[in-house]
Structure 1
């Protein structure tokens, strides 16, 4: 990856809706090299996808919780079963494995505290291999970015 690739990525992180012509103007390249470079970065896995981001609060998901999960046991089968099951819970929109006292952290969207309680009781507590859940309610979002510093 060279400086031209970085310019392309920086421009698209700021505005993923740029046309190839606009991207060329922004980066100092013509649209054909921009297109070729972007295609190559997609093929190599540098660029995964363009996303359409929905504001959760604007569609009724006013509350964000983080839920730390501790597992009963750490066998491959137990962890795989948990990961497969958590992928099917729509309210969980992010899941990461962790080091430290907890094994996973989940970002959970909810319309209300009652809605979150239902998610806990009906979905999260029933996940395979879960020993304990520790939940924190967010008060407000300070920063939320998927940009990579290039």
Structure 2
């Protein structure tokens, strides 16, 4: 990882909050002129620090009022089983996050649904039929006092 200076960190901080910010506005906020700001953004993109730009949608506005974290245990941990499981997860739009974890489960999935019935139907039709799955444990999200799409930036 390349060392980030104060301008790089400032650019990243501003773009995490508003990825549609114009280069002119970004340059003004960062304290550089347009050309060096543009050059730095391009470098941050080329270096992979900025993976992509996306709109953050409000699940409730889309009628997705039910969110769960699902703990998944696989029966076998052979490469082909894991690859099949991950390929199936990648194709399923209801699963918005997938993490390999330690502890009592192998994977943790975040799922959004309209309501508990919608989730139950999804669980019975999709989750329990994912390749290699032997156990599904659901944790219902009651409230989300802090959700962020931005990451903490290194200070030095």
CA distance in 2, matches of 1:99, 1:41: 32
CA distance in 2, matches of 1:28, 1:3: 10
C-alpha displacement of 1:45: 0.4
CA distance in 1, matches of 2:94, 2:18: 27
Residue 144 (structure 1) aligns with: 147
CA distance in 1, matches of 2:152, 2:69: 25
Secondary structure of residue in 2 paired with 1:87: helix
Residue 15 (structure 2) aligns with: 12
Residue 113 (structure 1) aligns with: 116
Residue 91 (structure 2) aligns with: 88
CA distance in 2, matches of 1:14, 1:93: 20
CA distance in 2, matches of 1:88, 1:13: 26
C-alpha displacement of 1:88: 1.5
CA deviations over 1:90-116 (Å, ceiling 9, x no partner): 211111111111000000001011100
CA RMSD of aligned residues (A): 0.9
Task: Report matched runs for 1:48-127 at 5 Å.
Answer: 48-127=51-130
CA distance in 1, matches of 2:44, 2:36: 12
Structure 1 unaligned segments of length 5 or more: list them.
none
CA distance in 2, matches of 1:136, 1:149: 26
